[in-house]
Structure 1
Amino acid sequence: MKAVAQRVDQIVKRVREAARRAGRNAEEITLVAASKGVDVGPIREAAAAGIAVFGENRVQEARAKFVDFINGGLFSEREPVSVDLIGPLQTNKVKQAVGFFSKIHSIDSLRLAEKVAQEAERRGIIQSVLIEVNVGGEASKHGVSVAEVPALVAALRRLPSLSLEGLMTVPPPTADPEGARPFFSTLRRLGEDLGLQRFSMGMSADFEIAIEEGATSVRIGTALFGPRRKG
């Protein structure tokens, strides 16, 4: 078995075990393979091993790697996989992003949401999105504050060409994965209070904690693909 396939198998087992501990159905949890900086070869291996959703941080990189696949040429022997945008979206990249990404996890302002909605309406589609929440209040990170979420949720629900699926967060770095637990719990409670049920949270170091706290999507990069190339 190739290295990527072995890692996929190991991560899937860990997802299932974390779900079992939390009394959850593992089928409710989507494993998003965070493929920023990963070449097409390992991506092919991951897809062949059963990965169905990939997450990219940059619009241009994603299109360069996945456009052939989206058009049916890269993994034609498999059921289609999807590509999500899990990094920040600049307003000048909206036209390239809408319709290409299955989900945009990083809506962090009403202005951005309105631009995405306008482009989706122009294309005649419904774009799935999540609101990125800066649960730790870190100045260095994207996302709206916890206090801003209710108003932004209400505003997005008034945009008919958007489908608001839930909330996303990247917690502050901690020495112990357990340190992320209160941030994941905060996001879940916030979403549930607003009638949202999907939570994109947890990465290679802390995804099991995120699952225990209600994650429905975990974004795994290094644990699947190894260290990234620089740039």
Structure 2
Amino acid sequence: MTEEYIDYWQLLASIDSIAAREGRNDEVRLIAVSKNQPVEKLLGLYKQGCRLFGESKVQEWVSKKEALPKDIEWHFIGTLQKNKVRKVVGEVSLIHSIDSLELAKKVAEVSVEKGVTSHILLEVNTSMEGTKHGFTEEEVMETYPQMQLLEGISVDGLMTIGPNTEDEGKIRRAFKNLREIKEKLEKAGKRLPHLSMGMSHDFQIALEEGATLIRVGTLLFGERTQKGG
């Protein structure tokens, strides 16, 4: 299957237009999801002006980080195994995918050892699909107070992956649910500035429901050209 992809600045303009239509006055940031894409494609997007990239596999990210310009801001957006935490902490600006209290504790522990503060998002499975990682709403509400007490981390918001469906109503409900969970958590603690939600096929709905970080791959790069990583 071949899908068209669009110019980086064209996509930014589309995001700005949707945000303006929704009366948004907060910043929305576009993350170029470069999983399984060759370095040459990332460099092409970099030359267009993109400086924010998201990777899902630690080893793939490490090799790209070494090969690409040093002013790139990296976000880690994939499932993070505890034995890979040390490679990521202190090297990325934001970890989107904290899906358990145990993982948060490990990131906090390594962050303290390295003398850094790791900025994290809590992944919530708002679609309740068994193939997806993340806290349930009940779990995140229960564990969030404990995470606020951990040294070495700063919880900056929530992340979700929309349901695997063409039903826009279900997609919207999943994103709206994440926003409502964030609002509940804010009543029990500090402001959470970020909602990471929305990808190539559903970012418009995510923006309408309050996304501040959208993760777009196919629209920017076309279909993935590598396997694994």
TM-score normalised by the chain length of structure 1: 0.90
Q: What does the per-residue CA deviation read over 1:118-172, in whole Å, with 9 as the maximum and x for residues that have no partner?
A: 1100100000000000001111111011111112221111112001000000021
Residue type at the aligned position of 2:10 = Q
**What pairs up with 1:17-166 in 2 under 5 angstroms?**
17-25=17-25, 28-69=27-68, 74=69, 80-166=71-157
Residue type at the aligned position of 1:58 = K
Task: Determine the structure 1 residue equivalent to 2:189.
Answer: none
Alpha-carbon distance, 1:104 to partner: 0.6
Secondary structure (helix, strand or coil) at the match of 1:28 reads coil
Secondary structure (helix, strand or coil) at the match of 2:35 reads coil
Secondary structure (helix, strand or coil) at the match of 1:219 reads strand
Residue type at the aligned position of 2:80 = L
Decide whether the 8 Å contact of 1:33 with 1:224 is kept in 2: yes
Residue type at the aligned position of 2:176 = S
Alpha-carbon distance, 1:197 to partner: 3.0
Q: What is the CA–CA distance in structure 2 between the aligned matches of 1:125 and 1:5, rounded to whole Å?
A: 38
Aligned with 1:220 (options 216, 221, 228): 216
Q: What is the CA–CA distance in structure 2 between the aligned matches of 1:136 and 1:172, rounded to whole Å?
A: 5
**What pairs up with 1:195-210 in 2 under 5 angstroms?**
195=186, 196-210=192-206
Alpha-carbon distance, 1:179 to partner: 3.4
Secondary structure (helix, strand or coil) at the match of 1:111 reads helix
Q: What does the per-residue CA deviation read over 1:61-107, in whole Å, with 9 as the maximum and x for residues that have no partner?
A: 000111344xxxx26xxxx2211110000011011111111111000
Task: Determine the structure 1 residue equivalent to 2:164.
Answer: 173
Q: What is the CA–CA distance in structure 1 between the aligned matches of 2:223 and 2:105, rounded to whole Å?
A: 36
Task: Determine the structure 1 residue equivalent to 2:8.
Answer: 8
Give the % identical residues: 42
Secondary structure (helix, strand or coil) at the match of 2:156 reads strand
Higher mean displacement: 187-196 or 211-220: 187-196
Q: What is the CA–CA distance in structure 1 between the aligned matches of 2:195 and 2:5, rounded to whole Å?
A: 26
Q: Considering only aligned residues, what root-mean-square deviation do their CA atoms show, in Å?
A: 1.7
Residue type at the aligned position of 2:39 = V
Residue type at the aligned position of 2:66 = V
Decide whether the 8 Å contact of 1:166 with 1:191 is kept in 2: yes
Decide whether the 8 Å contact of 1:32 with 1:218 is kept in 2: yes
Q: What is the CA–CA distance in structure 1 between the aligned matches of 2:6 and 2:139, rounded to whole Å?
A: 42
Residue type at the aligned position of 2:17 = E
Structure 1 unaligned blocks of 5 or more: none
Decide whether the 8 Å contact of 2:6 with 2:219 is kept in 1: no
Task: Determine the structure 2 residue equivalent to 1:182.
Answer: 173
Q: What does the per-residue CA deviation read over 1:150-199, in whole Å, with 9 as the maximum and x for residues that have no partner?
A: 12221111112001000000021121445311111110111012112310
Structure 2 unaligned blocks of 5 or more: 187-191
Residue type at the aligned position of 1:182 = R
Q: Say which structure, 1 or 2, has more relative contact order (CA 8 Å, 6+ apart).
A: 2
Q: What is the CA–CA distance in structure 2 between the aligned matches of 1:135 and 1:97, rounded to whole Å?
A: 26
Decide whether the 8 Å contact of 2:175 with 2:206 is kept in 1: yes
